[in-house]
Structure 1
Amino acid sequence: MKPHYLTPLFSPRNVAVVGASDKPGSIGQAVFSNLLAGNFQGKLYPVNLNHKVVAGMPAVQSVRLIEGAVDLAVVTTALRALPGIVKDCGKKGVKAVLLAKEFSDSDQLEREILNESLSIARHYGIRVLGPNVLGLMRPVAGFNATNYSNRVRPGNLALVSQSSALCAAMLDWADGKSIGFSSVISVGEALDVDFGEILDFLVADNFTQGILLHVHHIHDARRFMSAMRAAARTKPVVVIKSGRFEDSVTGVTHSSNLVASGDVFDSALSRAGVLRVNTIAQLFTAAKVLAANYRVQGRRLAIVTNGIGPGVLAADSTYTYGVELAQLSPATIELLDEVLPRNWSHGNPLDIIGDASPARFRTAVKACLDDPGVDGVLVIFTPQSGTDHLTTAQLMVGLQREASKPLFLSWLGEAKVSESRELFSKAKCAHFSAPEFAIEVFRNLANYHHNQQLLLQTPGPLGGRQEPADAERARRVVNRALKEGRNVLSERESKEVLAAFKIPVNPTHLARNEDEAVQLAQKNGYPVVLKIDSPDIIYKSDVGGVELNIANEASLRQAFADIVGRARTLRPDAHIEGVSVQPMRKRRFARELMVGVTHDTSFGPVITFGAGGIAVEIMQDRALGLPPLNSYLVNSMIDKTRIGKILGAFKNLPPIDRQELEAVLLHVSEMVCEMPEIREMDINPLVADERGVIALDARIIVEKARPDRRNYRHMAIMPYPTRMVKNAKLTDGTDVIIRPVRPEDADMQQQFVRNLSEESRYNRYMSSIKQLSQTMLVRFTQLDYDREMALAMTRVDEAGKEEQLAVARFITDPDNESCEFALEVADRWQGRGIGFILMSALFDAARDQGLAVMRGEVLAGNKGMLKLMHKLGFKVEPHPEDRALTIVAKALADEAPQAAGN
């Protein structure tokens, strides 16, 4: 992979400081002094219009007068001079500019100057960080282009902050805790370089082992999510969010009214596999613990103590922090009964009595660690008569080294236990002055594990398992409404859209008068439900627009007149189509649910699930999910809600058909992926029981959208690219399918690698591996389709099982303009046109993503493939050092003439 295109900004070798000064208190003086004091090994060039010498170094009046090359220009001068400075930088060939200046967004003149400067920068291909930034630091390289005056230690954490003031506070806090940084990046307004690009750089940075983010707002949610997911796969990422009160979710449906932007942001972070915290202390504590490779597999905590009081208080804290007290297994209880005093607590928390010896502590803690129902152990030591704090601490350090589960140690007191705490610090054990701090960290680790599981979810297509949706039918309904100038679909229209996506709905028919209503009721059978039909009335019950359980004609005629009369009285402005007639669904064991869609300004469509019915806003019981969803994500949403607890067998209620409920949420996910026109939606109530689910009422809000369905630009996460699935035929007549790789292909991919010859495996993976590690398997099958692609060629063998014949993949460079690609073909399938067919499909996928440069050796000597690439508009860059592809390249060249004939 070539160097990141932001390397001149974040790791420069030659730096010019425009506005470098000797004037005390000026930004130019502070920045240039910090660069000199930091022992930066690159070249520094002061630029000053009025002085020939700055800090004892010769200065020039313009960047263009610098003799050597310049990677980065740090601008500290007045904003009015910025356009000229950027133009000089462009003519000099400078690749990056850091605006270490404040600017007022409310000042129209300053805004115009800044916009002009950014336009000039884009013309010359200059990337700009800022404005309103503290600056930029690389403590591991002695580079400090900031006006921050205190010490910053080198370390392995990267800090990225949108607020200069908060960034300074974090640095001061970290210094007091002896925490160091690989990079400190103040983003500011982020008018050009944004979080997504910065994260991409930090993912590839070998000095960075963990990433800390302070976020206030984001500009490009797709890039942000894609970069966050890429970072979280390899390095722990911890986020603190400000501005939660600034609600960017607005709308008219219940789904929108129940959702705040902070909730959506939390859901997005969870899906990205990162950890959200609320305070600066939590930010650094979580980062240190994660960087030390502490991990848990769940939220079940065992507490071992020699004081029942602290143990009970700690147990109370588990409830506060949402941590589960582990239920010890019968085998563990039996073991502890044999070795502990008779009056031990016989449960969790484990009170092993005040005079507990070091050996008794070790026995109890070891039993808990060995219990499969325990994910972590908190040990609380209270210094009492007969106890030995230091020996107990030494045994805990030894136990942690041999255990696969984490220990959290809290030695209560100060002077008496100080030696034990020093031991814990030297051994890098997780120790805390108070048990509640340990429980909070355990909770964060459990949340991180949960979010990492969400990160691994790459929803595949619904096709194959479900009847395909009729998206065109749904679009006709939506387009008709938009053509008529309407954004609100009627209940009938909304249900027609849902039905097109295979969501069960209660049949709804329009009656424009009483006679038509009677005819419909007689046709469908009594009892029926009448509802006012008006695109202008969202909440029908607010105008008395619903009558239930109508059993005969006389009641129907009266109800019809009453509904229309009330609606015209309370909403004289509303256009009334008539009254809809629906069968009255009586389900004895039904639960009323709600499924909705809302729209977030940054992250696009968001799916909500929770309790439905008339009390939906009072109960506030809902969970959020960013589409696309799969079964794991759907069930995770359901289980988060209170209503989810009574969907199984509950008292006299039989369990609902959970599979049908799951299918509805999956179809809603498919609907919002395929229809960017859908802005909001409510299905309320969605009735669920043992016989299935059915939407009794629904409302959809739409708006005109850009025709970008191919790349799903309305979504924060790229869905499975179903459009790339295609059939093909090999030169020997074998029917094959070419499709993007899915997570469930892991076993097939592993078998494919096992079947490769030793020579092929060595040439591809540069080692004599027999099979892929679990980490590599996840990496190859759980893809972010927005920045990478893997196309598998498969066939159905004689036993009806899918077999992988070959796979071609590319990984996009951070510049989103070029990529590296590779091809693997099973040894026994060589020479049948596979390489040409599969690479042609991969080139098409790369072109679809806007890539122009592809690097790899597959093209060596293959004139037909080179001709195809040039025809598609690609620039071909050879990759001579990539020995992994030479064998495949030769095989492809051999089969090219035969394949080209197809």
Structure 2
Amino acid sequence: MNPHYLTPLFSPRSVAVIGASDTPASIGQAVFANLLAGNFQGKLYPVNLKHKVVGGMTAYASVRQIDAPLDLAVVATPIRALPAIMKDCGRHGVKTMLLAKDFSDSIPLEREILNESLAIARQYGIRVLGPVVLGMMRPVAGLIASSYTSKVRPGNLALVTQSSALCAAMLDWADSKSIGFSSVVPLGEALDVDFGEVLDYLVADSFTQGILLHVHHIHDARRFMSALRAAGRVKPVVVIKSGRFEESGDGLTPLAHRLDSGEVFDAALARAGVLNVSTIAQLFTAAKVLAANYRVQGPRLAIVVNGIGPGVLAADSATRMGVELPRLAEPTLALLDDVLPRNWSHGNPVDIIGDASPMRYRTAVKACLDDPNVDGVLVIFTPQAGTDHLTTAQLMIGLQREATKPLFLSWLGDAKVSESRELFSKAKCAHFRAPEYAIEVFQSLAAYHRNQQLLLQTPGPLEGKREAPDLVGARALIHAALSEGRSVLAEREAKQVLAAFNIPVNPSELAKTADEAASLAERMGYPVVLKVDSPDILYKSDVGGVELNIGNEIALREAYHAIVTRARRARPEALIEGVTVQPMKKRRFARELVVGVAHDDTFGPVMSFGAGGIAADLLHDQTLALPPLNGFLADAMIDGTRIGKTLAGFKHLPPADRDALKDVLLRVSEMVCELPEIREIDINPLLSDGDGVIALDARLVIAPAPPRAKRYGHMAIMPYPSDKVRDAVLRDGTPVQIRPVRPEDAEMQQAFVANLSEESRYNRYMSSIKQLSQIMLVRFTQLDYDREMAMSMVHDGENGEEQLAIARYITDPDNESCEFALVVADAWQGRGIGPMLMNVLFDAARDQGLKLMHGEVLAGNKAMLKLMHKLGFSVNVHPEDRSLTVVSKPLTGAAGGE
């Protein structure tokens, strides 16, 4: 694979410091001195217009005078010189630039100069990081292009932050804890190089084992989530957010008013498979533990302690942090009964009594590690008469090496157990001075495991084999309302949209007179419910516009006139269309639920599930998730609420139909995927019992959808592009399916690579690999369909589904072009697979708004060259190396080839 295009920024072979100076306290002096002191191994060139020598090195008046290629230019000059510097760098062929001064508070004239400079950079293809006052650091390469004055240790963690001030504080804190970094990247305004591109580089960086991210604001949620999900698949990412409570909900429905920007951000990070923390200490602790490859497979913790007091305190902390203390399995309890004193606690925490010997500790801990109900074990040691802290510590170290589950060790005390702590540090065991810290780390690891599971979910907007919705009818209702200038659908219209997506609703029909209401009630059957119908009244009960349980015609006529009178008195300016009539549903054991959608300014549509009715506002029992959903994600939403725990049956309540409820969540997810005009949904109450679900009331808030180049551009997470799945037949009559790659294709992808010839593998991967590494396999099968597409051609063979070919593209930083790759299994070549698959790939790229596809194929591969010509690519021999042929194709016209 070719080096990442940001390699000249992070691993330059030559650096020019423009504005390098000997003037004390200047940025140019600080940056150049740090580069000299950092033992940078590449070529270093000071550039100073007035001085011929800087720092004892020959200085150049301009980069034009440097007779050598330059990878990186660090600019520490006043902004007025920037356009000329940018032109000089562009003509010299400089690849990347770091603006090591802060121009974020510039006056309008200087802002205009900065924008002009960035335009010049784009003209010459220069990538620009900053402007940022702290500069950038790559300690593992000795590249300290920064004005930071304290020590930064090399290490395996990368730090990416939007704040230079916070970055400096983090670096100072990390140095006091002996934590080192592979890279330190303050992004500043991120006018060019942004979060996504930096994360892309760090994912492929062998020096980086974990990524720390500080986020304050997000410019483009889709690109942010795309990059974060790509990084989270390969390496542990820990995020801290500042400004969590700066925004407040704004909308018409209760969910919109309750929406907390911090909770929305948490939901987004959960879908990205990363860990969200709230303090700097947690940030570094979690990153160190994750980078050391500590993992748990669930939230269940066993505690082993030689004293019930510390055990109860630890259990209280676990409960407070949401860590589950499971009941031990019966075989484990029987074993412990045999080997422990009779007065042991007989439960979790496992109190093995104060005089516990090292072997008693080992036996109890080993039993808990082997218990199927346990995901991790916290061992607490208190120095008491008859105990041996050092031998116990040695046994725990040996036990950790043979265990598949993590051990967390907490030796209480100070001087008496200091030798054990030193032993733990040398053995790189997870040890803590207080059990609370260990439990906090375990909780973080459990959250990380859960988020990694959420990351693997790639639901489609119309996933599964459920009955397809009436998209045409739903869109017609919404567009009709928008054409009338309305932003709120009437209840009966909202229910029609829900019904179009096969969500069970209590039908509502409009009656403009009392006579019409009586006729409708007679047809529906008494008792009925009457509600005022007005596009200007969102909540009818607020104006006395609802009457329940009407049992006869006389009561109905009285209620009709009373509702209209009260509504007109309360809202004289409102348009009263009439009154809707609907059956009165009495379901004795039904739970009142609410399913909603609100619009977040950053992440777009956000779904909510929780307790409905009046409890919705009182209890705040809700979970949030970013659509699209699948069954796993819908289950997670339900299980995250207190009301969800009653669905399986609770006291006198029989079980509810959970599958029917999940289907509603999935259908609402489909609605917000396919109907970008929807801003808010409030289905409340949604009744759920053993007979299924039914929406008694619903509200939809809509707005015109802005034009977007990409399908599903209104969403932060791109759904699985199920619209790209198609069936086809090869020239020889073999039926095949062409579809986007899914995470579960990993095993099939590995078999495909293994069955390629050595020549085909080398042509595709530029190496003689026989199988893909785990990291490569994850990157090739767990896709973010916004930035990358892989189309696989499969057919049902004798041993199940078999991959015949795969074509993929990856978008370039300009978001207008992409690089492609195509591989056809050797045994299936010559059957028209290449053109068929590439044409599907062309369509996918065009749908994403891409304009150019390019790549490289071996010049000696005549079949590939013939195919490229046939598909409409321009083909030219590369001037530097005639063994390669560069191919490109504009994507504005129709795809060529058959």
Q: Which residue number corresponds to residue 733 of structure 2?
A: 733
More displaced 10-residue stretch of structure 1: 534-543 or 140-149: 534-543
The one-character-per-residue Cα deviations of 1:246-286 (angstroms, maximum 9, x if unpaired) are 12642221221221111111111111100011111111111
Amino acid at match of 1:467: E
CA separation of 1:749/1:556 partners in 2, compared to 1, >3 Å: closer, same or farther? farther
Match of 1:810 among 801, 808, 811: 808
Would you say the 8 A contact 1:789–1:810 is kept in 2? yes
Q: For residue 95 of structure 1, report the CA deviation from its aligned partner.
A: 2.6
CA separation of 1:655/1:494 partners in 2, compared to 1, >3 Å: closer, same or farther? same
Q: For residue 203 of structure 1, report the CA deviation from its aligned partner.
A: 0.7
1:199 paired to 2:203: no
Q: For residue 221 of structure 1, report the CA deviation from its aligned partner.
A: 1.3
Structure 1: distance between partners of 2:496 and 2:226: 34
Scaled by the length of structure 1, what TM-score is found? 0.92
- Secondary structure at 1:870 match in 2: coil
Q: Which residue number corresponds to residue 640 of structure 2?
A: 640
Q: For residue 690 of structure 1, report the CA deviation from its aligned partner.
A: 1.0
Q: For residue 323 of structure 1, report the CA deviation from its aligned partner.
A: 0.5
Q: For residue 843 of structure 1, report the CA deviation from its aligned partner.
A: 3.7
Q: For residue 763 of structure 1, report the CA deviation from its aligned partner.
A: 9.2
Amino acid at match of 1:559: A
1:218 paired to 2:218: yes
Structure 1: distance between partners of 2:268 and 2:45: 43
More displaced 10-residue stretch of structure 1: 640-649 or 708-717: 708-717
Q: For residue 436 of structure 1, report the CA deviation from its aligned partner.
A: 0.4
Within 5 A, what are the aligned runs for 1:701-850?
701-708=701-708, 711-743=711-743, 745=745, 780-795=780-795, 803-804=801-802, 806-812=804-810, 815=813, 817-825=817-825, 827=827, 831-849=830-848, 850=850
More displaced 10-residue stretch of structure 1: 648-657 or 438-447: 648-657
Q: Which residue number corresponds to residue 893 of structure 2?
A: none
More displaced 10-residue stretch of structure 1: 8-17 or 843-852: 843-852
Structure 2: distance between partners of 1:115 and 1:749: 45
Structure 1: distance between partners of 2:189 and 2:739: 41
Q: Which residue number corresponds to residue 543 of structure 1?
A: 543
More displaced 10-residue stretch of structure 1: 459-468 or 244-253: 459-468
CA separation of 1:878/1:627 partners in 2, compared to 1, >3 Å: closer, same or farther? farther
Q: What fraction of aligned residue pairs are identical, expressed as a percent?
A: 69
CA separation of 1:602/1:860 partners in 2, compared to 1, >3 Å: closer, same or farther? farther
Would you say the 8 A contact 1:228–1:272 is kept in 2? yes
Within 5 A, what are the aligned runs for 1:300-379?
300-379=300-379
Structure 2: distance between partners of 1:249 and 1:80: 42
Amino acid at match of 2:567: A
Q: For residue 232 of structure 1, report the CA deviation from its aligned partner.
A: 1.2
Q: For residue 629 of structure 1, report the CA deviation from its aligned partner.
A: 0.9
Q: Which residue number corresponds to residue 893 of structure 1?
A: none
Structure 2: distance between partners of 1:276 and 1:433: 23
Within 5 A, what are the aligned runs for 1:142-161?
142-161=142-161
Q: Which residue number corresponds to residue 136 of structure 1?
A: 136
Q: Which residue number corresponds to residue 867 of structure 1?
A: 869
CA separation of 1:678/1:874 partners in 2, compared to 1, >3 Å: closer, same or farther? farther
Q: For residue 732 of structure 1, report the CA deviation from its aligned partner.
A: 2.4
Q: Which runs of 5+ in 2 are unaligned?
A: 885-895
Q: Which residue number corresponds to residue 887 of structure 2?
A: none
The one-character-per-residue Cα deviations of 1:737-781 (angstroms, maximum 9, x if unpaired) are 322233455676678779889998999897897x98987765554
CA separation of 1:113/1:880 partners in 2, compared to 1, >3 Å: closer, same or farther? closer
Give the aligned length: 882
Would you say the 8 A contact 2:230–2:779 is kept in 1? no
1:111 paired to 2:105: no
Would you say the 8 A contact 1:808–1:823 is kept in 2? yes
Within 5 A, what are the aligned runs for 1:224-623?
224-247=224-247, 249-460=249-460, 462=462, 465-623=465-623
Q: For residue 710 of structure 1, report the CA deviation from its aligned partner.
A: 5.1
Amino acid at match of 1:134: L
Would you say the 8 A contact 1:197–1:814 is kept in 2? no
Would you say the 8 A contact 1:327–1:373 is kept in 2? yes
- Secondary structure at 1:136 match in 2: strand
Q: Which residue number corresponds to residue 698 of structure 2?
A: 698
Q: For residue 820 of structure 1, report the CA deviation from its aligned partner.
A: 4.4
Would you say the 8 A contact 1:529–1:581 is kept in 2? yes
Amino acid at match of 2:312: V
Q: For residue 860 of structure 1, report the CA deviation from its aligned partner.
A: 3.7
Q: Which residue number corresponds to residue 896 of structure 1?
A: none
CA separation of 1:557/1:749 partners in 2, compared to 1, >3 Å: closer, same or farther? farther
Amino acid at match of 2:843: D
Q: For residue 359 of structure 1, report the CA deviation from its aligned partner.
A: 0.8
Amino acid at match of 2:656: I
Q: For residue 868 of structure 1, report the CA deviation from its aligned partner.
A: 3.6
Would you say the 8 A contact 1:808–1:842 is kept in 2? no
Q: For residue 558 of structure 1, report the CA deviation from its aligned partner.
A: 1.9
Q: Which residue number corresponds to residue 682 of structure 1?
A: 682
The one-character-per-residue Cα deviations of 1:65-92 (angstroms, maximum 9, x if unpaired) are 4333322222222334333333333333
Structure 2: distance between partners of 1:197 and 1:748: 30
Amino acid at match of 2:810: T
Q: For residue 211 of structure 1, report the CA deviation from its aligned partner.
A: 0.4
- Secondary structure at 2:489 match in 1: coil
Amino acid at match of 1:840: N
CA separation of 1:152/1:854 partners in 2, compared to 1, >3 Å: closer, same or farther? same
Q: Which residue number corresponds to residue 170 of structure 2?
A: 170
Structure 1: distance between partners of 2:774 and 2:193: 35
Q: For residue 459 of structure 1, report the CA deviation from its aligned partner.
A: 1.1
Structure 2: distance between partners of 1:759 and 1:585: 69
Q: Which residue number corresponds to residue 45 of structure 1?
A: 45
CA separation of 1:417/1:30 partners in 2, compared to 1, >3 Å: closer, same or farther? same
Would you say the 8 A contact 1:133–1:187 is kept in 2? no
Structure 1: distance between partners of 2:85 and 2:862: 45
CA separation of 1:80/1:751 partners in 2, compared to 1, >3 Å: closer, same or farther? closer
Would you say the 8 A contact 1:590–1:687 is kept in 2? yes
Structure 2: distance between partners of 1:666 and 1:432: 43
Amino acid at match of 1:668: V
Q: For residue 133 of structure 1, report the CA deviation from its aligned partner.
A: 3.5
Structure 2: distance between partners of 1:258 and 1:831: 60
Would you say the 8 A contact 2:234–2:775 is kept in 1? no
CA separation of 1:167/1:365 partners in 2, compared to 1, >3 Å: closer, same or farther? same
Two-structure CA RMSD over aligned residues (Å): 2.9
Scaled by the length of structure 2, what TM-score is found? 0.93
